[in-house]
Structure 1
C-alpha cells in the first residue's frame, strides 16, 4: 500500500475527524484528502509523470503536508529541502536530485529565484500561498479544481522521496526510499509508540527531517490522528497547545525539551493529557530527561536513536528500560536488526567498541545518483553507519563516537568536512579542523580549531560572516579556538579525538 492510499482510507473511515490544524486553519480527513487530490491532479494536468522529482522548500505548514501527499498520490518523488540552506547549497540539491519543480513558501521565493539563475536548466517555482514575482506561480493558480482521486497506479516499490543528508565529502547525499520502506517505518514506529486514532500530536521539528516526516507525520496520518502543525518551534506555544488541544504525544530533539524546561512558570500549564514523549537526533542528558519527566508528569519517555538512511531507524529505549539503562541507545527497532561489529563483521564483545550496522525493511534503496557512495555504504546487505558504538552484557547498544566526525547541534547534523571546506578557503587560515564540544543547550556546539597563516590575526566577526554566506547558519562555528599545529597520525589524518579531549579538559 502506498502513502497516499493510507490517507484516502482514513478519509473514508472517519471523514469528519480533524486531521491537520495549522493556526486558524483546520482540515478534516475528508477535506485534507480533497486538497491532496487537487495537488496531485495539478501535477498530472501540468505534465508531470510518475518519477518526476518535486522539491519542497518551505517551513512547516498545512501546505507542506498537503504538497507531500499530493506528490505521492501523483506518483512523483518528493524532495524535501532544508529551508535554512544557502543558495549555493540549494542549487546543488536541486541539480543533483534532477528536480522538475520546486514548491516553496513566500519567504523562500527570492532565494529560489537566485538559485534558478545559476541552474543549467531552470526549475518552475510555485510560491505558497502567493507569488511576489510575475515569473512564478501562486498556490491557487497552481491547484487543480478537481478533487477526484486521480487514476494513477502507484506501486509499493515506486520511488517516493529523496531525503538529503550531508556527506563526509562535503556534498549532500540523497537517500532514496520507495513507498514500502516508508510504510514500514510507520509500521515499526506504531509498534513502538502505540499511536492510535485517539492521539493528538504536535509537529514542531522541521518536516524536511526524516524523524518528523516519516516517523511522526506519516505514522500519525496512517493512525488517523490529529496533527497540530507549528511553523516554527516556540516553547511557549508548545505548552499552550498541549493544554488547548489535549496533546497526547510529543517528539522533539533535546534542545527543544531544554527550551521548554526553561520557560518561566512552565508548571502552570495543564500537561496532564500527555501519555508519551519521544526524543532523538542527539544525545539527551539524564538530568534533562528526569527534569522533563517531572514537568510533563509522565515517565513514558522513549529514546529513538537512528539515522536518515534507515528511514529513520536504529535502536530505541523504552520507558521501562530508562530506569536502569538511561543514557543508552537501546535495542533494535521493529523490522530492523542492529549490531555492533569489528572490521571482519563479527559482533564485538560487551564493552568493546565497533561499528554500528543495520539491516532491515526500512533501509534506503540507495544514494540517488551516487553508485560509488552507495556501494561503500552497504556490505553484504548491511548498512554501514560509520557510527562507533558499544554493546553491554544485556545487549543494549550505545553510540559513543562517529567515524564520520558528524556533529549534532540542536538536532541538526553538521559534518565537519563541510565546515572545514569553507574555513580552509578563507585567506587568513592555514588549516582548520571542526569538532563538536559538549553543550548543555545544543547537545554539541560546532567548534572551529584554527591554525592561522603566519603573521595573520583573524577577525572573528568577519570570519563568521564569511561562513554564513557559504553554509547554513546552524553549521557556522559558535566557538573559535586556536592551536599552533593540528595533531595528525602517520597517514596525515587529523586526530580530532585528541582535539576534543584536550579542549574538554580545558573547558
Structure 2
C-alpha cells in the first residue's frame, strides 16, 4: 500500500476485504466496510458544514469507534486533527482552542459545561457531540454552539440529511495530519505537528520490526490522544489488522479476559500498566492462545517488572521501546532475543531512524560515555505549532534533540540515562532519579516510588523518595534506608522517604514530576 494517507488505507482495505474486522469496543464493532462508509459520510458532513482543506478540527474524545471515525473523516476532508486530553481544565482547553484556531470540533457530551467554560461558544462554529443516545435539549444550552449528534459507533444522527462525499485534492506528504498536545501539567501545553509523511514513516517502521499483518489484532487501553496509543491504531490500519479499544482498565482482569476472548495478538502498555496487572491479576489463571507480542514504552520500566512480564506472558515476546511525541511515536526498540545480553537497553534505532550520543557541542561521544541523545528520520516532527523558538531549541542542523541522556555500547545498543532536566547533581555526581527509583521499588512493602532532588548546602542536591506503600504496609524510614544502603552508593541513598497515597500521573500513566515537585514545594 503506497498511499501515505490514513483514510486511504481504510478505503483500500474496505474495497478488498469489506467484512474484515477493523475497530471494536465493548459496545460496538466495525468492519472495514463499516469504517469506510462512516468515514465518507462524516467527511461529507464536515465539508457541508464549512470544514475546508487545511483547516484544523478539534478532537476531544475518549477512545471509542466514533473517535476513530472522526479522525479519519477529518483527514478525508483534507483537514488536520487537533487531539487533546479532554480531562484537562477549562483554562488549559480554552488556551488551546484560541492558539490552535480551530472552528469545528468533536466533543464528548458530558464535557459540555467544561467547554462552555473554556469559551467554546465564542471560538467554535459547530460541534459533533458523541453520546450514546440523541442529544438532550439542555446540552445545546450547556455547550453554547450548534451541535450534531454522533453515535458511539461513528454513525451520524439518522435525522441528518446525507451529503455526497467528494474527495478533496490530496494534500502533500509534508502537510500536517495531526497536532498532538503534550501534557499541560508541565507548563503550557505545546502542539506537536505530525505530518502525513511522519505518520506513514513511523507506522511502516513499526510494522516492519513487529512483523504485523492483516491477521494481527491489538487490545488498546492507551488513549488515542497519546502518540503511543495512536501509533498502535495507525499500524493496524496500515496492514489491515484490527484494534479492540478497551477503556475498562480500572478492572484489569476484565481487560485481560477480553485480551483472550477477542483473540488478540498484541498488547501495549506503559510501565504503570504492567505494574497494575502484576499487583492485581493472577495471570497464571488466564490463557492467551493468540498473543504473540507485548510492547512497552512511555518511560523506563523496572528490570524486575520486565522480567516478570516476560515470564508471565511467555511465550509471547516483549518489545521494550523508546520514543516521544516529537518522533511521531518511536525511535528505538530492543529485539526480544537480545533481552538478556542487553538488559536495561532501549535497543537499536527503528528502521529509517539514526540515533547518536553527542556532547553539548553536537560532536559524537565515544561508546560508553553519557551524552545527549539526538535522532534523525522521516518520522521526526517539523516542529511545534506556531512556536518557532521552541522548535529551534529541539531541531538543530536536521537532528532532533530529545532532551534525554543516553550512552551507546560498542555493539550499537543504546541505554537511557534519564532526562537532561531531571538529572540530580549530588556532590559532583550526576545521577538519574530512575536508578534510585528502581531500587526503592524492589522493597517488598513498596508499590512504586519517585525520587526528586532537594537543595542541600553541602552537596548541592540530595535525593528524597516519595513512596506508595503496598496495601496494609507501613514501611519505616530507617528500614527503607538500610535496604537502599545495601544496593546503592552512599550519595544515592534518599535522605528521606515520604509516604504518599499515589503519585501524580497523566491518563497515559506517565509520572508527572513537575506536579510532584509542586506538591512537594507546597508541603
Shift of residue 24 of structure 1?
Answer: 3.2
Say if 2:363 is the partner of 1:346: yes
Conservation of the 8 A alpha-carbon contact between 2:198 and 2:379: yes
Secondary structure of 1:323's aligned partner: coil
Say if 2:11 is the partner of 1:19: no
Specify whether residues 94 and 253 from structure 1 end up closer, same or farther in structure 2 by C-alpha distance, changes over 3 A only. same
Conservation of the 8 A alpha-carbon contact between 1:249 and 1:277: yes
Conservation of the 8 A alpha-carbon contact between 2:92 and 2:184: no
Secondary structure of 1:364's aligned partner: coil
From 128, 131, 148, the equivalent of 2:130 is: 128
Say if 2:210 is the partner of 1:211: no
Q: Unaligned regions of 5+ residues in structure 1, if any?
A: 408-434, 452-463, 485-507
Partner residue of 1:150?
Answer: 166
Partner residue of 1:90?
Answer: 93
Q: 1: CA distance between counterparts of 2:390 and 2:520?
A: 33
- Number of residue equivalences: 439
Q: 2: CA distance between counterparts of 1:347 and 1:314?
A: 18
Structure 2 counterparts to residues 59-138 of structure 1, below 5 A: 59-116=62-119, 121-122=123-124, 124-129=126-131, 130-132=134-136, 133-134=139-140, 135=144, 136-137=146-147, 138=149
Q: 2: CA distance between counterparts of 1:179 and 1:253?
A: 25
Q: 2: CA distance between counterparts of 1:8 and 1:78?
A: 19
Q: 1: CA distance between counterparts of 2:455 and 2:157?
A: 51
Q: Identify the range of structure 1 (146-155 vs 31-40) with the bigger mean alpha-carbon deviation.
A: 146-155
Show CA shifts across 1:54-98 (max 9, x none). Answer: 111111111111111111111111011012211111112222211
Q: Identify the range of structure 1 (168-177 vs 85-94) with the bigger mean alpha-carbon deviation.
A: 168-177
Say if 2:287 is the partner of 1:270: yes
Partner residue of 1:477?
Answer: 516
Secondary structure of 1:84's aligned partner: coil
Partner residue of 1:438?
Answer: 437
Q: 2: CA distance between counterparts of 1:165 and 1:444?
A: 23
Shift of residue 300 of structure 1?
Answer: 1.1
Specify whether residues 394 and 88 from structure 1 end up closer, same or farther in structure 2 by C-alpha distance, changes over 3 A only. same
Specify whether residues 148 and 237 from structure 1 end up closer, same or farther in structure 2 by C-alpha distance, changes over 3 A only. farther
Shift of residue 39 of structure 1?
Answer: 1.5
Conservation of the 8 A alpha-carbon contact between 1:103 and 1:126: yes
Partner residue of 1:307?
Answer: 324
Conservation of the 8 A alpha-carbon contact between 1:448 and 1:479: no
Specify whether residues 448 and 55 from structure 1 end up closer, same or farther in structure 2 by C-alpha distance, changes over 3 A only. farther
Shift of residue 23 of structure 1?
Answer: 1.2
Conservation of the 8 A alpha-carbon contact between 2:63 and 2:224: yes
Shift of residue 265 of structure 1?
Answer: 3.3
- TM-score, normalising length from structure 2? 0.77
Shift of residue 326 of structure 1?
Answer: 2.0
Partner residue of 1:326?
Answer: 343
Specify whether residues 32 and 120 from structure 1 end up closer, same or farther in structure 2 by C-alpha distance, changes over 3 A only. closer
Conservation of the 8 A alpha-carbon contact between 1:82 and 1:208: yes
- TM-score, normalising length from structure 1? 0.80
Conservation of the 8 A alpha-carbon contact between 2:405 and 2:419: yes
Shift of residue 304 of structure 1?
Answer: 1.1
Shift of residue 17 of structure 1?
Answer: 0.6
Conservation of the 8 A alpha-carbon contact between 1:59 and 1:232: no
Secondary structure of 1:39's aligned partner: helix
Conservation of the 8 A alpha-carbon contact between 1:357 and 1:382: yes
RMSD: 3.1
Secondary structure of 2:340's aligned partner: helix
Partner residue of 2:243?
Answer: 227
Say if 2:205 is the partner of 1:188: yes
Shift of residue 154 of structure 1?
Answer: 2.1
Q: 2: CA distance between counterparts of 1:290 and 1:342?
A: 33
Q: 1: CA distance between counterparts of 2:117 and 2:184?
A: 24
Specify whether residues 106 and 66 from structure 1 end up closer, same or farther in structure 2 by C-alpha distance, changes over 3 A only. same
Say if 2:4 is the partner of 1:4: no
Say if 2:60 is the partner of 1:57: yes
Q: 2: CA distance between counterparts of 1:42 and 1:79?
A: 18
Shift of residue 162 of structure 1?
Answer: 0.4
Shift of residue 321 of structure 1?
Answer: 1.3
Conservation of the 8 A alpha-carbon contact between 1:99 and 1:123: no
Q: 2: CA distance between counterparts of 1:479 and 1:472?
A: 20
Specify whether residues 195 and 344 from structure 1 end up closer, same or farther in structure 2 by C-alpha distance, changes over 3 A only. same
Higher RCO structure (Cα 8 Å, ≥6 apart):
1
Conservation of the 8 A alpha-carbon contact between 2:38 and 2:69: yes
Q: 1: CA distance between counterparts of 2:162 and 2:79?
A: 18
Shift of residue 262 of structure 1?
Answer: 2.3
Q: 2: CA distance between counterparts of 1:148 and 1:8?
A: 16
Specify whether residues 299 and 231 from structure 1 end up closer, same or farther in structure 2 by C-alpha distance, changes over 3 A only. closer
